[in-house]
Structure 1
């Protein structure tokens, strides 16, 4: 089983080049169809080097999870609001690479990533074990997700924050996507000083030639 959370600082050899490439992407407001706050890039950055480095670190070959915006970047300014709040990700493993400038990450209002406990159930993630799901009062994982995550996603009083991972330039946060999490509030007013991250949604890659 992959670790629930890993923080890798100074991840990229040339993070400023990655930041410039991220800012050069198109963030068309008309093409935003997700529940997230802010703007996602219309196209991804090349993730080959990131995928390879993460695969080496975790000891398994990982690539883009199907149907996700793996490698896309997101700009979130102060006051941006999404259609959902606390959530889980449709992937085997998630990652967030922070590309905001060091001086912006150091501000008191700089938003990293928050993790939560659901107050009523006491859960901090969707259990993998059917016995734990049943002990929580649900027939299966889908029923739990619907009644806990989807129902209470925008109700802050239903959640207790257990951890905030601060934003830091060139920090890669890797975590289990089944944990209840959300982006901390955005900051800044322009692309230059806003919260800027690369989104990563991983899935195992089957070895070639195996039947």
Structure 2
């Protein structure tokens, strides 16, 4: 069974070089094609050996998930708003590497329980989906995630993984989650992260 959540501190051997490379990427506002707050890089930031290291860590072979922003960086500044809130990811496994400097780090990544159903994730077992009152997984996602994504009162925060420079969190994309508070007035002082969306390499 895959671990639901892992935290790896001091992930990169040279995080300042990765941060410098991330800040040098282009964050064209016209490149935005999602519901997230902030701006995403037009090109990915390659991390040598990433797939192999994550595969060894979670005990399953992974590769970049097609059609996602895997490997891209995102900058979110104070006041930036998105068109969604609590969500799940279209992937086999997810990861976020924090690249904001220690003196700027705030918030992190939040995880939630859906109050009406009591669920903390989309179940991967058909029996659990039926027990939750849904005919199939798509009906559950539509009624819980898509319907209530922006309604804060519908969710209870269960956990905050604090942002820490060079901290990688790896987690099941089916967990209900959202990015923490945005901050800063420039890319150098804002919320800077490297995004990871993995597919199962066995498929």
TM-score by length of 2: 0.97
What is aligned with 1:5? 5
Q: Give the structure 1 partner of residue 141 of structure 2.
A: 145
Contact in 1 for aligned 2:109/2:178 (Cα 8 Å): yes
Greater CA drift, 38-47 or 163-172: 38-47
SS at match of 1:128: coil
2:176 aligned residue = 180
Q: Which residue of 2 aligns with 1:36?
A: 36
* Structure 1 segment 70-89 matched on structure 2, within 5 A: 70-89=70-89
Please report how far the alpha carbon of residue 137 of structure 1 lies from its aligned counterpart in structure 2 after TM superposition: 0.9
Q: How far apart, in 1, do the equivalents of 2:10 and 2:103 lie?
A: 15
SS in structure 2 of the partner of residue 63 of structure 1: strand
Query: How do residues 156-175 of structure 1 correspond to structure 2 at under 5 angstroms?
Result: 156-175=152-171
TM-score, length of structure 1 as denominator length: 0.94
Q: 1:51 and 1:21 mapped to 2: Cα distance?
A: 19
Corresponding residue number in structure 2 for 1:51: 51
Structure 1 alignment gaps of length 5 or more: none
Distance of 1:79 and 1:35 partners within structure 2: 15
Distance 1:68 1:47 in 2: 16
**Aligned pair partner of 2:117 in 121, 138, 141:** 121
Aligned counterparts of 2:48 and 2:63: Cα–Cα separation in 1? 8
Structure 1 window deviating more from structure 2 (42-51 vs 194-203): it is 42-51
The SS at the match of 2:104 is: helix
1:132 match: secondary structure: helix
| 1:47 CA displacement | 3.5
Question: Where does structure 2 lack aligned partners over 5 or more consecutive residues?
Answer: none
> Could you tell me which residue of structure 1 aligns to residue 201 of structure 2?
205
CA-CA distance at 1:153 after TM superposition? 0.2
Q: 1:155-175, CA deviations, whole angstroms, 9 ceiling, x for partnerless residues?
A: 000000000000000000000
8 Å contact from structure 1 (residues 79, 185) kept in 2: no
Residues matched between the structures, number: 203
Query: 1:75: Cα distance to partner?
Result: 0.2
Partner of 1:154: 150
